[in-house]
Chains A and B, each alone.
Chain A
Amino acid sequence: MLNPMQKILHILLALSMAAGLLPASAWAGGGSLLPVVPEAQDRFSETQGCVEPTDEMRRNHMEHILHQRDETVYRGIRTKQYSLEQCINCHVSDTPDAPRYSSEEHFCNSCHTYAAVRIDCFQCHADRPVKSSNPQTLSGQMKSDMQPSALSAMPHQALATEVISHE
């Protein structure tokens, strides 16, 4: 429990942050409100973490995913660079206890909670990499395609060249 003095201090801090008087990082000590974003499993290339520079991904990932969505559904284009499946394969752990989207520990939700964004992607789409508990549904080539390990095993260069042709 906070005593009244602490409460007032917190309110003042919050107000000054909202007014831009203090950088958000000043608040980021213990009990931070800033999202704790889980680390990705892999890097896109030596120089770049994600499929676009991080700033671009933070602001515009939804545009990339939306564009890819229509390309895939209507035109059958299945490149991996902007595919939601690959986002999940890389950003969510493939262990059985991996967080679901409903948890704030889930990569997507960690930030969406902070930004007060509600999405419905995961009402239909898998919010975790394909589970090893369901291997009999996947056979042959598709299986190796979809295992997250396939992504990590793939040389970065190969992934990069494959997807650039889509530009």
Chain B
Amino acid sequence: MSDSANIDTYRRRFLGGTATALAGLSVAPGVFLHEVARARPADEAVTSDVRWGMLIDTNKCANGCNDCVTACNEEHGLTGHGRPETDAQWIRKVELRDKQTGHTQSLPLLCQHCEHPPCVDVCPTGASFKRADGIVLVDKHICIGCRYCMMACPYKARSFIHEDLQDQLPHAPRGKGTVESCTFCVHRVDNDRTPACVEACTAENHNAMVFGDINDPDSDISKQLKQHSSRQIRADLDLNTGVRYRGI
């Protein structure tokens, strides 16, 4: 009896392991099983056990490639009015040039989802806030459009909506008179998916962006952060950003 029970246990473990290995092979790059296993039910609140973060490898980020920006604009229905100074921009490509050597490199810059976000510090209404899982958001219901947060952000990550809008997407409500910025695609993350920019970068096989839980030592992003040196932009401000860069 006990022998057969042991065999069953062994067999189950073995079969489970095989299934996991097979699933691991079949899942798309950048999508890992532990994320599937951690799926949070829709009626459960986010917790600080998770901290979402992103690692961007600037060596893999091609000059002139705009796939992440396009994906973001499409995902959230961001449309311009031909006025780049004021058009909404949740993620943008920045080109760095070494004046001495002329070497250029390119990187996407988005809300860095700081642990100590200056935008939250300065917000007079509490509209700018950090979710328990580290995602920095604007509650547009109470945003009065004062734009202090835009001035406080060292990364110029926020935009103000100047125009009346129509045909917003159901998952990305946006409206005149409020400030907005990258949400780490919170509507996707809550459904166990990766942000649109990361998905686009991976789909084009650039693989310059990794998204995941930096509190989980087994996540791909944590392993990569442990293995390679990475930097925060303006680390001197001690904001402990959720977005890290390699190769700058």
A contact set with B: CB distance below 8 Å? 69, 71, 73-80, 85, 88, 123-126, 129-131, 134, 136-137, 139-142, 145-146, 162, 165-166
Contacts and interface: CB of A to CB of B under 8 A. Distances in A.
B11 interface: no
Given A124-B174, A134-B169, A140 B193 contact: yes
Contacts of B74: 136-137
B195 to A, nearest CB: 12
Given A76-B186, A137-B74, A141-B193, A131 B167 contact: yes
Interface in B93-134: 129, 131-133
Contact of A76 (B77, B140, B165, B190): B190
Contacts of A166: 42-43
Given A69-B141, A124-B178, A88 B45 contact: no
Contacts of A142: 171, 187-188, 191, 193
A165 B43 contact: yes
B139 A76 contact: no
A78 B175 contact: no
B193 A76 contact: no
Interface residues of B, number: 37
Q: Tell which of B46, B74, B173 has the most Cβ of chain A within 10 Å.
A: B173
Contacts of B165: 123-124
B193 A88 contact: no
A73 B193 contact: no
Nearest to B161: A124
B191 A130 contact: no
B193 A77 contact: no
B43 A79 contact: yes
Contacts of B178: 124
Given A69-B141, A142-B187, 15 more contacts: A76-B40, A76-B131, A77-B42, A79-B43, A88-B170, A124-B140, A124-B178, A126-B169, A126-B173, A134-B77, A134-B167, A136-B74, A141-B191, A142-B171, A165-B43
Contacts of B164: 123
Nearest to B173: A124
Given A73-B137, A76-B131, A136-B74, A125 B168 contact: yes
Given A75-B45, A145-B191, A130 B131 contact: no
Q: Tell which of A75, A79, A85, A129 has the most Cβ of chain B within 10 Å.
A: A75
Nearest to A131: B167
